[in-house]
Amino acid sequence: MSNQNSEQYVSQYLRETVQIADSLEQATIARMVTMLRELRTRAGRLFILGVGGSAANASHAVNDFRKIAGIEAYAPTDNVSELTARTNDEGWDTVFVNWLNGSRLAAKDMLLILSVGGGSEKASLNLVRAMEYARKIGAPIISIVSRDGGKAKELSDAALLIPVVSRERVTPHAEGWQAVVCHLLVNCV
């Protein structure tokens, strides 16, 4: 929390939250809504991938997309037994791509990537491998990321960047806004 007292910190955090809200790319969010509506129309499945706090957001989003938006959705991190078996037997870098292959990912399906950094050769390589596989299959990708967007920005059909307004709070803002945007998408679709 640095050297600020709690009241100053709360005020600063909320000002940053407003700043992010005011600078989100609304056209990108609208594009995601359109893509999700098209996914539902073609009876495709939504695979939501994230690690750490983003995995928790993925699990929550799966529930909402299924229950509220009527889109068949899955998060590989929801099955800890399969996740850890694949990690042990095949490696962390390929855990998602092998899960997607076993789930018969098809061009009519879609990936939703939730990540603070968007993946790179040094971090969240499992997300990168999954996105590369989706590209190969022809499945569209949408993502909610921060920092510079990483590989997700490069590989996604629509990538929403959560602006960095504070270097100290990149992760809490990115993961908090993943939840906000997922709720927006679910209720708009």
Q: Taking residues 24-40, report their average pLDDT.
A: 98
Q: Is the pLDDT of residue 156 over 90?
A: yes
Using the predicted structure, report yes or no on whether residue 3 has a pLDDT greater than 80: no
pLDDT recorded at residue 4: 66
Q: Which long-range contacts (CB under 8 A, 24 or more apart) does 21-29 make?
A: 23/163, 24/160, 24/162, 24/163, 24/177, 24/181, 25/160, 25/161, 28/158, 28/159, 28/160, 29/160, 29/181, 29/184, 29/185
pLDDT above 70: percentage of residues in the chain:
98
Check residue 157 and give its pLDDT.
98
Say if residue 2's pLDDT is above 60.
no
In the three-class reduction of DSSP (H, G, I as helix; E, B as strand; rest coil), residue 1 is classed as coil
| 123 neighbors 157 (Cβ within 8 angstroms) | no
* 25-188 fold: Rossmann fold (3.40.50)
